């Protein structure tokens, strides 16, 4: 499902990171490694991808997928992006998909990523845009908070933290990257049916699950019923379809 929604945006991120045959690449917050494998295919057997994540179980899935795909140029390391235990100037490029906005100290992570890049190396990071631009993600948040009567956090929800105009660009610049640019990527979230959309919303590894944990069983049922009703507006003849906007931040060391 992720590959289907985000395949084109992922390829664009790899283009912008200037991956080529033989590149040594760092993948930050690799998760289950969809983009890791795409990068590994691009750089070929003479290149390599080091996938880092705080979740060992996610990285196990990445390693397994790489093995199944016959890719021997993928390494996984359990590591916090804020404290990269990697040699300075050891990568030609870095990528990150849907992870940067979830890292508590983004500035520190950006500084660490820049440190491990060789001079001239490029970092490209794909993140979500604003809540308004992605109702599939923002509706469950709004509903869960309303039903659970949760008080507002001091800053916007993780997903949209870097989505406001200027935030991603400023972060890259503050970390010392040059030639910084932010590319807007408009896409659509499509599911065969409303039931599939709800299933994916429940399964998606986004912090929504943490938010729902704060609701009791009855509130959770009520929240999902309200989410389903709100999602109805995106159901048409061809199933569920909602707009989504992504940002790709790019900077060079």
Contact between 101 and 160 (Cβ < 8 Å): yes
Distance in angstroms (rounded) separating the CA atoms of residues 24 and 60: 21
Six-digit token pair at 208?
């929504």
Shortest CB 237 distance to ligand SAM, Å: 30
Q: Is 145 in the site for ligand SAM (CB under 6 A)?
A: no
Nearer to ligand SAM, 113 or 147 (CB): 113
Q: Is 110 in the site for ligand SAM (CB under 6 A)?
A: no
State how far Cα 141 lies from the chain centre. Answer: 17
Residues 196-225 that bind ligand SAM (CB under 6 A): 205
Stretch that binds ligand SAM, among 66-74, 76-84, 132-140, 180-188 (CB under 6 A): 76-84
Pick the binder of ligand SAM from 60, 80, 170, 241 (CB under 6 A): 80
Pick the binder of ligand SAM from 19, 103, 112, 125 (CB under 6 A): 103
Contact between 221 and 169 (Cβ < 8 Å): no
Shortest CB 42 distance to ligand SAM, Å: 16
Contact between 123 and 117 (Cβ < 8 Å): yes
Q: Is 94 in the site for ligand SAM (CB under 6 A)?
A: no
Pick the binder of ligand SAM from 16, 26, 37, 58 (CB under 6 A): 58
Q: What is the largest CA-CA distance in the chain?
A: 55
State how far Cα 156 lies from the chain centre. Answer: 16
Nearer to ligand SAM, 29 or 148 (CB): 29
Shortest CB 218 distance to ligand SAM, Å: 28
Give the β-pairing of 91-97 and 117-128: parallel
Stretch that binds ligand SAM, among 80-88, 128-136, 148-156, 165-173 (CB under 6 A): 80-88
Distance in angstroms (rounded) separating the CA atoms of residues 214 and 209: 9
- Residue 209, classed as helix, strand or coil, is helix
Residue 183, class by beta-carbon neighbours within 10 Å (0-12 exposed, 13-18 middle, 19+ buried)?
middle
- Residue 77, classed as helix, strand or coil, is strand
Which residue in the shown chain puts its C-beta closest to ligand SAM?
Answer: 31
Nearer to ligand SAM, 82 or 130 (CB): 82
Positions touching ligand SAM (CB under 6 A) are: 2, 29-32, 34-35, 52-55, 58, 80-82, 97-99, 102-103, 205
């Amino acid at each position: 499902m992720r590959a289907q929604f985000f395949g084109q945006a992922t390829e664009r991120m790899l283009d912008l990171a200037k991956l080529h045959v033989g590149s040594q690449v760092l993948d930050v917050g690799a998760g289950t490694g969809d983009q890791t494998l795409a990068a590994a295919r691009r750089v070929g057997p003479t290149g390599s991808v080091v996938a880092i994540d705080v979740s060992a179980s996610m990285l196990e899935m990445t390693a397994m997928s790489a093995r199944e795909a016959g890719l021997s140029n993928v390494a996984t390391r359990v590591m916090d992006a804020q404290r990269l235990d990697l040699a300075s100037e050891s990568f030609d490029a870095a990528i990150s998909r849907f992870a940067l906005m979830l890292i508590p100290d983004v500035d520190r992570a950006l500084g660490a990523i820049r440190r491990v890049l060789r001079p001239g190396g490029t970092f490209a990071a794909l993140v979500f845009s604003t809540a308004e631009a992605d109702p599939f993600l923002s509706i469950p948040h709004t509903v869960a908070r309303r039903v659970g009567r949760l008080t507002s956090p001091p800053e916007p929800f993780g997903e949209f933290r870097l989505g406001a105009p200027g935030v991603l660009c400023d972060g890259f610049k503050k970390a010392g990257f040059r030639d910084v640019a932010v590319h807007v990527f408009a896409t659509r979230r499509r599911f065969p049916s409303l039931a599939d959309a709800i299933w994916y919303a429940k399964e998606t590894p986004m912090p929504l699950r943490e938010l729902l944990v704060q609701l009791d069983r009855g509130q959770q049922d009520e929240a999902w019923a309200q989410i389903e009703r709100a999602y109805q507006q995106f159901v048409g003849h061809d199933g569920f379809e909602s707009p989504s906007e992504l940002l790709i931040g790019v900077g060079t060391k």
